[in-house]
Amino acid sequence: MLTQKFSRRSVLRAGAAAAIAAPAILRSGSAQAAGRLIKIGFVSPRSGALAQISEGDGFVLNKVLEALGGKIVIGDTTHDVQIIEKDTQSDANRAAELAAELILRDEVDIILAGLTPDTVNPVSDQAEANGVPCVTTGAPWESWYFGRGGEPGKTDFKWTNHFFWGSADLQAVYLELWQSQSTNKVVGALWPNDPDGIAFSDPAFGFPPVLAAQGFSLIDAGRFQNLKDDFSAEIAKFKSAGVEIVTGVMLSPDLATFLVQSKQQGFHPKIVTVAKAALTPTTVESFPDGLGENLSSEVYWGPQFPFHSSISGESAADLVAAYEAQTGSPWQQPIGFSYALLEVGIDALRRATALTPEAIGEAVRSTDLDTMLGHVKWGDLQGFPNVARTPLAIGQWQRDAERPAEHLVVTHNGHFPSVAIDGQFKPKVW
């Protein structure tokens, strides 16, 4: 991970502005404006192992630029706006390099990044080291904060802020689901050796103490390397312990491998509830032998959520309808977060007293905004002034006669009752 601090001015004077040459997609308004061009960097994993969670980003970027008319008005001045997209290819080192490129070569005014710690952590580190405002989303806040060396009560990042739900929120909705079903309360965990897996398995802040307090027995299979090709040892351990609930935070290829091998080896848990791996319909439909059916997962955005855009006034349901009409594909949760990410960045730019890193950074820190994802205001979690938590429900990927393809329904909303329930939970299909 690159965290070296550079002087943007000295680097440019030395002629190193083109030192890191990576392709980018530029999106900008064509109208002439009285002000200068505002540059927004947007970093996400558009290809590689995480690509499916960012497949809606192109739609979102075009949607927001269209709503803005390609311009941002700050005070009495109208500025053209350009969004410079960067694809991490699902690689954390590349994410850091691209953030450095945005800072040093492109001289962006603000960086926006998502999703997963492999993107948001290295990008945030670069922004913090080089004094550029940065907002991120799409990773549990603990993975972002502790994964970057944050210490409660001590660390107050100056340039970087993050909004997303956290481990406690996920634990609450998982337990709400699991306690509503008849099982032996034996949980098998698949937590990898990455920032998410380390956060979820943490003996103080993660799942283990919460499960123990609620009377669940935990069978932790141990940390594993992502893109693993054989889960036989984990499956044998789960079978031996009588596991009826499987949980984890996994890449989609790893979940697919685990499901196929579980079916082959006669391991058929009643409930499979995983984070990250089953977020989009494209992903779930891609699992072999229909094994995506009745997977359960967190629901962090969708047409069931009662929120509206601060840019256009459209509702979550409106955005879903527009996405499906334009792309011909089913809606997916990450488009809500990518949209809200742009909302927060644009709101900060509009409120900035000057187009300088200091003024934009101050505007970011004073964010108090209703977005497509809900209300975003940093510091709503005591001791973590750079974090804002977002709503969370839980649901399941189901099929029915009306909708034969996998679609995500909300089955439990006890921790955020404003989210509409539109399905009843069913045991996992094998």
In which band, very low, low, confident or very high, does the pLDDT at 33 lie, cut at 50, 70 and 90? very low
pLDDT computed for residue 275 by the predictor: 92
- The answer on pLDDT for 46 being more than 70 is yes
* Structural contact between residues 58 and 83, judged by C-beta atoms closer than 8 angstroms: no
Q: What angle do helix axes 232-241 and 252-264 make, rounded to 10 degrees?
A: 60
Per-residue pLDDT at 225 exceeds 50: yes
Compute CA 384 distance to the chain's CA centroid, rounded to the nearest angstrom. Answer: 19
- Name the maximum alpha-carbon separation found in the chain: 70
What's residue 308's pLDDT? 98
Please confirm whether the linkage preceding 115 is cis (ω < 30° from 0).
yes
Residue among 80, 69, 71, 5 at smallest CA distance from 36: 80
**Do 335 and 279 meet the contact criterion of CB atoms below 8 Å apart?**
no
Q: What pLDDT score was predicted for residue 404?
A: 65
Comparing 9-23, 257-271, 387-401, which segment has the lowest mean pLDDT?
A: 9-23
Cα–Cα dist 398/424, whole Å: 10
Task: Report the pLDDT value the prediction gives residue 232, as an integer from 0 to 100.
Answer: 98
Cβ contacts of residue 156 below 8 Å, gap of 6+?
385, 386
- 27 confidence band (pLDDT: 50, 70, 90): low
Q: Where are the beta strands (DSSP E) in 221-307?
A: 245-249, 271-275, 296-299
| Domains of the chain with bracketed CATH | 8-165+304-388 (3.40.50.2300), 167-298+399-412 (3.40.50.2300)
Q: Which residues contact 84 (CB under 8 A, 6 or more apart)?
A: 24, 25, 26, 27, 39, 40, 41, 42, 102, 106, 108
- On whether the CB atoms of residues 112 and 41 are closer than 8 A, the answer is yes
Backbone torsions φ then ψ of 272, nearest 5 degrees: -125, 110
Treating both helix axes as pointing N-terminal to C-terminal, what angle do 334-351 and 57-68 enclose, rounded to 10 degrees? 30
The two tokens of residue 381 are 């979690």
Percent of the chain exceeding pLDDT 90 equals 81
Q: How far apart are CA 347 and CA 363, in angstroms?
A: 8
Q: Which residues pair with 25 in a beta bridge?
A: 85
pLDDT digit string, tens, across residues 325-350: 999 999 999 999 999 999 999 999 99
**Where is pLDDT greater, at 29 or 166?**
166
pTM above 0.85, yes or no: yes
For the stretch 260-293, pLDDT in tens is 999 999 999 999 999 989 988 988 999 999 999 9
Q: Which of the 8 DSSP states describes residue 7?
A: -
Burial of 367 (0-12, 13-18, 19+ CB in 10 A): buried
How is residue 162 written in tokens? 């993050």
What pLDDT score does 406 carry? 84
* Separation CA 85–CA 42 (nearest Å): 5
Q: Quick one: which of 268, 263, 269 has its CA closest to 245?
A: 269
Give the ranges where 106-250 is alpha helix by DSSP (H): 117-130, 141-145, 167-179, 195-200, 207-213, 232-241
Question: Which whole number is the average pLDDT over 107-122?
Answer: 96
